[in-house]
Amino acid sequence: MSHADPITAAQSQAALHWLSRINEQPEVAQSAGFKRWLMADPRHRQAYDQAQALWRLSEAPAARLAVEEQAGLQQYLDAMARPPARKPWLRTLAAAACLVLGVGMAGGWHPGHWLQDLQADYRSGDTLRQVTLADQSEVTLDAGSAIAVDFQQGERRVRLLHGAAFFQVTHNGEPFVVQAAGGEVRVLGTQFEVRDQGEGAQVTVRSGRVAVTAAQGQVARELTANQQLAYAEGRTGELLAVDSDSRLGWRQGWLNYYQVPLAQVIDDLGRYYPGRIVLLDGELGQRKVSGSFPVQEPLLALDSLGKVMGFSRQTVLGRLTVIR
């Protein structure tokens, strides 16, 4: 694995999880589980160092917010604690609330992405962004997405740092390559999406052709219009036939689903929400959802889902929404 491989969103989230545990129980830092995680991948140490830096940067703003909004946060936490006794995750939730709200959530900021965004040439907040590259190729960034661009030495390279991007490539004789999650997509046609999925990525072709390689040195898989392929950890999944217009409906402001876990829908809606949406019920998150939802009003979409699936949401300070 090259040292240039980017830290994935899943690795950043795991690092923040370990840091939260260690802050509450310092002895966890000496545990075998934490040491195994650190040694499993060189990027884990980098991700943990970044998480520590983020925590240090957030301490002062979070403390100020806790003082300024003490009444609102305490009322929320008191409500969460009744009728059951105080639960172990409440302290973590309180810290997360301060961290999320105190560091600043405007523009789709995400704690696992802030260092990746420093590398970005283009990024989006909680809305879509249209970008025209130097070669006149068009890129549509989904909410909460970022790319780095490197056009030199007769090759056009774009690195998807996180989120998703839809490409409409202008042909000029130079190769056009999109790198994501250790693999790459080499353009043989024109219109396609690349979506980061933590440890892997998903490619959907609307028109033309692309060649997908899950890892350096592997044989490429070719995709044509209305085909989709996911890969992770150097392995490709099954080649699927899809309705690309439906799968790429986010470009027109709609998220379309058929029998997907509620947790995935909540994660997707979260990209369009100027704060954080937290799901506390893992079993609820696995229930299947079908439907179409407008991205402009993510909380209204959650309310509609809640009426059908029997869950409720609570929003505190207009930035943190909890579902249980």
Res 264: pLDDT: 92
For the chain, where do the domains classified as CATH 2.60.120.1440 start and end? 123-247
The predicted model gives 83-97 an average pLDDT of: 47
Tell me the pLDDT tens digit for each residue of 208-255: 999 999 998 889 999 999 999 999 989 999 999 999 999 999 999 999
At 117-153, the pLDDT tens digits run 677 899 998 899 999 999 999 999 999 999 999 998 8
| Residues paired with 229 in a beta bridge | 203
Q: Note the pLDDT of residue 217.
A: 86
Q: What is the pLDDT of residue 110?
A: 53
**Cβ(124)–Cβ(111) under 8 Å?**
no
Numbered ranges of CATH 3.55.50.30 in the chain:
253-323
Per-residue pLDDT reduced to its tens digit, 278-301: 888 889 999 999 999 988 889 999
| Residue 263 dihedral angles phi and psi, to the nearest 5° | -60, -35
pLDDT of residue 98: 46
Q: What is the pLDDT of residue 106?
A: 39
| pLDDT digits 0-9 by tens, 55-80 | 665 555 445 544 544 454 455 555 55
Domain 123-247 has CATH 3.30.1780.10: no
209-213: strand order across its sheet:
122-123, 146-152, 155-162, 176-180, 183-187, 209-213, 221-224
- pTM value? 0.66
Contact 166, 192 (CB under 8 A): yes
pLDDT value for 14: 80
Strand segments (E) across the chain: 122-123, 129-132, 138-141, 146-152, 155-162, 164-168, 176-180, 183-187, 191-196, 200-207, 209-213, 221-224, 227-232, 235-236, 240-241, 254-261, 276-279, 288-294, 313-316, 320-323
Q: Which residue has the tokens 């068009």?
A: 138
Q: Which of 210, 240, 211, 212 is nearest to 226 (CA)?
A: 240
102 band by pLDDT with thresholds 50, 70 and 90: very low
CATH number of the structural domain 253-323: 3.55.50.30
| Residue 259 pLDDT > 60 | yes
The pLDDT mean for the chain works out to 81
pLDDT higher than 90, residue 48: no
Q: First and final CA of the chain: distance in angstroms?
A: 40
> How confident is residue 89, by pLDDT bands cut at 50, 70 and 90?
very low
